[in-house]
Amino acid sequence: MTPAAAPVETRRGLFALMVAHCAGMLDLVALPVWVGTLVARYEFDAQEAGGLATLFLVGASVASVWFAPRFNRVNAKWAAVAGFGLAALAFVLSSRQATFPVLAMLHVAGGLAAGTALSFTHGTMGHAANPHRVFAWAGLAIGILGILFMGAAPGLVDRFGGSALFIVFAGVMATAMLAALLFFPQRAATICAAAKGGTLPPLRRAAWFSIVAVALLAMAQAITLSFFERIGMARGFGREFVTLALVIYGVVTLFPAPLAGLLEKRIAATTVVCTVPALQAVFALVITHTSSYALYAASGALMAFTIIFSHTFAFGLLARLDPTGRAVAGTPAMLMVGAAIAPFLGGTLVKFIGFEAIGYAVVAIVAMELLLFNLARRDTAPVRAGGGPSPSGLARR
């Protein structure tokens, strides 16, 4: 069912998907500055600041859950254009507000809009001839955004106030809207026709196990990243060194996706997703317990490396388990359900226990995600018995 031609992989189509991925996944690079700004500039406590970020991610998750099963029946281009446009508007309005109830409503609205656009972006990637490679290019793009954002956003907030952060968010969303309007690629016509005829098969169990595991992968990342900036300040590293750690974090995000693209044919996706995420627990414990700046900065950067590298393989595996694009169209829901719970949960743990509790929470989350990824790996075994590809072959095709 994978399209023979690859309209998704034209230069213009790739560019649009890369920009859209950056905008829709902005939280991946922005969470520490986002939560830190809400605490430092708007004087919300950790729970309130984490709660606002959670509301945005909840909105994105709800939109993705709604649209993923309907992905092949809605015009993807105009869904992306409208979603990013409304998200930009929500952030512009947020820059003019300072009260929690109004910001909460705008965060929900922005999340619903951005999540809609991102669902159609990721679903369209799933129609590519090689979804793993397309997602790797998108990962490289968000690494570049991470460097630019971490290098510029803290200084803009210091100079112009908290509202500057929301203007930056709005600019990113508006750029994605324009790219989608001009260059958004077409999906596979045969799959869309089958969807309208109601003949698409249900998702396999392995796909469902992987979906929940990816949500936990994102939760482990987000619960640590949300308070990375606050932890650094609490440890007494100072604003300049914490900002430097964020820049290092952004630089490191350049490398995992291209590396995952290069290793696609050399390492089975199931091997990666069943082993590499364990590093999340190690780095989270170091970040939340160390008083060494070098360990703090290195662990934050390697935490980012781990999720981007692992998720690139997980995305490619899911796209092969379900070539219709429905599973990967739910990527925002997978990532943001986990990420949505994380800032509020993390804020609550910090408020009542302390930063160290975040590290222990990540250990428990990682244990669950590894269990689910291994169940998904085992569930691919019957495919071999029927003469189909083995899990390794499935990952490498």
Residue 171 belongs to a domain = yes
User: What pLDDT does residue 388 have?
Assistant: 36
Which pLDDT belongs to residue 397?
Answer: 38
> Residue 212 and residue 122: Cα distance in Å, rounded?
17
Specify the DSSP class assigned to residue 291: -
Q: What is the pLDDT of residue 190?
A: 44
Which residue reads 């605490």 in tokens? 39
Q: Residue 123 falls within a domain, yes or no? A: yes
Count Cβ atoms below 10 Å from residue 200 Cβ, excluding itself.
18
Is residue 193's pLDDT more than 60?
Answer: no
The pLDDT assigned to 389 comes to 38
Q: How far apart are the C-alpha atoms of 38 and 99, rounded to whole Å?
A: 11
Residue 90 predicted with pLDDT over 70: yes
Determine how many CB atoms are found less than 10 A away from the CB of residue 244. Answer: 17
Contact 211, 318 (CB under 8 A): yes
Check whether 381 has a pLDDT greater than 80.
no
Q: Are 84 and 114 in contact (CB under 8 A)?
A: yes
Comparison of pLDDT for 8 and 388, the residue scoring more: 8
Domains held by the chain: number: 1
Range of the domain at 284: 8-396
Answer yes or no: is pLDDT of 89 > 90.
yes
Write out pLDDT tens, residues 264-297: 889 998 899 999 999 999 999 999 999 999 999 9
Supply 324's token pair. Answer: 């219709």
Q: Choose between 5 and 10: higher pLDDT.
A: 10
DSSP secondary structure string for all residues of 184-222: PPP--HHHHHHHHTT-PPPPPHHHHHHHHHHHHHHHHHH
pLDDT of residue 3: 37
pLDDT of residue 322: 81
Q: In this structure, is residue 3 part of a structural domain?
A: no
**pLDDT at residue number 2:** 38
By the 8 A CB rule, do 214 and 311 touch? yes
Above 90 in pLDDT, residue 177? Answer: yes
Encode 329-355: b = buried (16+ Cβ within 10 Å), e = exposed: bbbbbbbbbbbbbbbbbbbebbeeeeb
Task: For the chain, give the mean pLDDT.
Answer: 84
List the structure tokens of 102.
């109004």
Percent of the chain with pLDDT over 70: 89
CB atoms within 10 A of CB 236: 9
pLDDT the model gives residue 246: 83
CATH number, position 368: 1.20.1250.20
pLDDT, position 127: 80
Instruction: Examine residue 223 and state whether it is found in any structural domain, yes or no.
Output: yes
Higher pLDDT, 342 or 97: 97
Mean pLDDT value of segment 294-316: 92
Distance separating alpha carbons of residues 195 and 165, to the nearest angstrom: 40
From residue 212, alpha-carbon distances to 2, 56, 147, 255, 357 in Å are 24, 20, 29, 26, 23
pTM attached to this predicted model: 0.76
> Which has more pLDDT, 66 or 200?
66
Question: Once rounded to an integer, what is the mean pLDDT over residues 52-62?
Answer: 89
Sorting pLDDT into bands at 50, 70 and 90, what band is 126? Answer: confident
Mean pLDDT within 333-352:
79
**CA 88, CA 179: separation in Å to the nearest integer?**
14
DSSP at 282? H
| Mean pLDDT computed over 317-323 | 83
Residue 390 has pLDDT above 50, yes or no: no
pLDDT confidence of residue 395: 39
Residue among 56, 44, 389, 14 at smallest CA distance from 222: 56
2 falls within a domain: no
Q: What is the pLDDT of residues 199-226, one digit of tens each?
A: 566 778 888 899 899 989 989 988 888 8
Angstrom distances, CA of residue 117 to CA of 25, 137, 387 = 11, 18, 38
